[in-house]
Structure 1
């Protein structure tokens, strides 16, 4: 059996041109942005690895559906989606383009898993409390683009957080310096 690494990332906003000026992100074009994320992703993730994407995968899903599918297919790993606010339509339904992608499991609004010998709660939004928090569980979230500090054993894993730097990161990387006891 092949050893599998787990990675975490959020808020890639592939195809979202306005992100270049809103955050700001250090790219001249959205194509440059997207290519950098693809190359960074594939530089650390192997085909058998797991990547948990904590929402806001792409933008312009109706207009650029074929482009989003092509990008998804280029990204290595078994991909799980934790649904973000830009992943749904106005009624809160998962966008059909995202629903048609080959996710490793059905996209969810939150997911409980384990990594590094710990329970781990994954969601797009930061929580003040989460399952098993009082028993050492860790919480990863996105959405806030580095502007909402974590509480206790929680943290933002968005691409625009400096130590994430547009690349999926491991549990060990994301919890380095975090008081886990």
Structure 2
């Protein structure tokens, strides 16, 4: 049994292809390739932490891909997930009504195939070190100025495994981006994270997307 980390699939999101230069002619081809790369990597006995932004577009149609993915899947919602904690403040309406909507949305993600949803999970041990799991890095963004500062983890000298920044970096200092746009489209095994931790803080560029063999 292996633990993996990943984020930012953006199932069903056509514009992400242009934004991140993904090598696909459209969303259906992207969706199929994401599922293929995941299932080539992950077995049903494995656990995968998905650090946010799993699906956009027509949500029911996009979330349907989650059930096709192998392994036990745990979601840490990102700012594009309907069940993200920030939705309580971004949506209009009374606080109680916003919370009811969020509870209903969380159930949609659970029904789609996630075993658990954690807004701010406790640190996890990787390679003998405790690391923070979050959709957001401590600092940095793919849009220039840092967004959603109030929802980011606080840098207290630890490492953070995160998503959100797409192909901006694979590692920046003590921040490890496990988004699919930094790792060729595949989930990242804990052993790969442990190796980066052992090598210490540095900057690494994203890996290229893996293209299917002709």
Distance (Å, rounded) in 1 between the aligned partners of 2:27 and 2:122: 30
2:111 aligned to which of 95, 100, 106: 100
Q: Which residue of 2 aligns with 1:68?
A: 62
Structure 1 unaligned blocks of 5 or more: none
1:11 aligned to which of 1, 8, 13: 8
1:177: Cα distance to partner?
4.6
Distance (Å, rounded) in 2 between the aligned partners of 1:132 and 1:117: 19
Distance (Å, rounded) in 2 between the aligned partners of 1:122 and 1:27: 29
**Contact 2:161/2:176, CA 8 A, preserved across alignment:** yes
Tell me which structure has the larger Cα radius of gyration: 2
Distance (Å, rounded) in 2 between the aligned partners of 1:130 and 1:117: 21
**Which runs of 4 or more aligned residues in structure 1 lie more than 6 Å from their structure 2 counterparts after TM superposition?**
none
Is 1:119 equivalent to 2:130 in the alignment? yes
1:145: Cα distance to partner?
1.1
**Contact 2:127/2:194, CA 8 A, preserved across alignment:** no
Is 1:140 equivalent to 2:134 in the alignment? no
Distance 1:149 1:30, change over 3 A: closer
1:108-127 Cα distance to aligned partner (Å, 9 max, x none): 24442122222121101001
Q: Which residue of 1 aligns with 2:30?
A: 33
**Contact 1:82/1:111, CA 8 A, preserved across alignment:** no
User: How many residues are matched?
Assistant: 171
Distance 1:69 1:130, change over 3 A: closer
Q: Which residue of 2 aligns with 1:176?
A: 195
2:71 aligned to which of 58, 77, 83: 77
